[in-house]
Chains A and B, each alone.
Chain A
Amino acid sequence: METQLEKVLSDIVTQPDTVGALLANRQGLCLGVKGDINPNVSGIGMAISDQVAGLEPRNAVAQPEARHPTICLYSGNRRCVIQRNGEITGVIYKQHTSAPTSD
Chain B
Amino acid sequence: MSDDIKTYFNGLLEKVSGLHVIQITDRDGVPLLRVGQEKNVDFALMPSFIPTFTTACDQASKLGLGRNKTIISMYSNYQVVQMNKLPLILTFVGAENCNTGHILALEQQVDGYLEDIKQAVTESQTHA
Contact = CB atoms under 8 A, between A and B. Distances in A.
Given A40-B105, A43-B105, A44-B105, A27 B16 contact: no
Contact of A24 (B98, B101, B103): B101
Interface in B64-110: 97-105, 108
Interface string A41-63: 11110110010000000000000
A28 interface: yes
Interface of A: 24, 26-30, 40-44, 46-47, 50
B17 interface: yes
B17 A43 contact: no
Give the interface SS of chain B, mostly helix, strand, loop or mixed: helix
Interface residues on B, range: 10 to 19
Nearest to B106: A43
B77 to A, nearest CB: 15
A46 B105 contact: no
Contacts of B100: 27-29, 43
Contacts of B16: 47
A96 to B, nearest CB: 25
Given A28-B101, A50-B99, 5 more contacts: A27-B101, A29-B100, A41-B105, A43-B103, A43-B104
Nearest to A47: B102
B99 A47 contact: yes
B119 to A, nearest CB: 26
Contacts of A42: 101
A51 to B, nearest CB: 8
29 contacts: A27-B97, A27-B100, A27-B101, A28-B99, A28-B100, A28-B101, A28-B102, A29-B100, A29-B101, A29-B104, A30-B101, A40-B101, A40-B104, A40-B105, A40-B108, A42-B101, A43-B101, A43-B102, A43-B103, A44-B101, A44-B105, A46-B99, A46-B101, A46-B102, A47-B15, A47-B16, A47-B99, A50-B17, A50-B99
